[in-house]
Amino acid sequence: MRNLWLFLVRYNAFFWFILFFVFSILLVVRNNNFQRTAFVNSSNVLIGFFYEKSNSWKSYLALSSTNEELALENARLRQKLENYIGKDTLSSAHLVDSIDVDRYQFIVAAVVNNSIHQKSNFLTLNKGTKDGVELGMGVITSNGVVGSVLNVSRHFSTVKSLLHPETKISVTLDSTADAFGSLVWGSNTDSRYAMIRDIPNHVKVYKGQAVFTSGYSTLYPKGIKVGHIVETGITSGESFKEIRILLTTEFSNLSHVYVVKDRLATEKIELEATNNDNG
């Protein structure tokens, strides 16, 4: 306290100068219209600048929750889209195929771990059994396919990435084509590209052609774009050829994904299993 008093006594002239200077400024601004207007405008600019910076930082700090809200909204919109696709276009627009109504549910999850440079790549999500995630469910983004659920705990799940040599996805060369093949990453070391195998040699393909999920499995709905062709005519045998595609999913920049729950998956799998029993 004594040091503070000595400091004030030593520099009292400076503090008196500041006090009188501020007081004189206030008198000038208060009693002169031009100076008052200039002061108000300047203060508004200064305050506006600080408010802008403050809101910018607040927006930055809220990015995580904002992204999660957007992901939830995208999941709701995707579910509505699937219901719309399920409409019987040959009937009235109000008639909906009961098999496809609400068939798919999309569970939003955040990516908490991800590898893209290994021979076998995996992801970890922050959703588990308590959120409805089950073994074998497909995982997608708003841009394409990610992989399938490999293991599940109560609060987390691991995903076998599309960038895994054992991942194989049934695809078609466009949304209406009759040509189907298997999308694989194989031994590729580039997370941007994959191969389509088992395409008959007589099928004509071209660069830039879109590739979609076929809907044959219970992992992914039909018609999800997975990429487009960048190289054709890679011969793999007398009857089939391979095609190189550029994936639409950016694996190096994954933050939120959607776990696909097919409500008819169990019924379909059990029915198809009877084929082996009867064979």
Q: pLDDT, tens digit, for every residue of 47-74?
A: 545 545 554 555 555 566 666 667 666 7
pLDDT tens-digit series, residues 231-242: 886 665 567 888
Can you tell me the mean pLDDT for 88-97?
37
How much is the average pLDDT of 79-103? 49
Is 0.85 topped by the overall pTM? no
Tokens of 109: 């999850």
Give the model's pLDDT for residue 82: 61
What's residue 19's pLDDT?
A: 77
> What is the gyration radius of the CA atoms in the chain, in angstroms?
31
How high is the mean pLDDT of the chain? 76
Share of the chain above pLDDT 70, in %: 66
Task: Report the alpha-carbon angle 240-269-89, nearest 5.
Answer: 75
44: pLDDT confidence band, cut at 50, 70 and 90? very low
Q: What is the pLDDT of residues 95-151, one digit of tens each?
A: 334 445 578 888 888 889 998 888 889 999 999 999 999 999 999 988 899 999 999
Per residue in 193-217, pLDDT (tens digit) is: 999 988 888 888 888 899 999 888 8
Residues 6+ apart with CB under 8 A from 168: 182, 183, 184
Residue 129 burial (10 A CB sphere; 0-12, 13-18, 19+):
middle
Count of C-beta atoms within a 10 Å radius of residue 68: 14
pLDDT at site 51: 46
The pLDDT of residue 96 is 38
Q: Residue 90 — pLDDT band, cuts 50, 70, 90?
A: very low
So what's the pLDDT on residue 88? 43
pLDDT at site 95:
35
Dig out the tokens for 191 from the structure.
Answer: 């997370």
Position 132 scores a pLDDT of 92
Q: Between the CA of residue 130 and those of 23, 127, 135, what are the distances in Å? A: 65, 8, 13
Domains present along the chain, CATH in parentheses: 2-61 (no CATH), 107-262 (2.40.10.340)
Give the three-state DSSP class for 124: strand
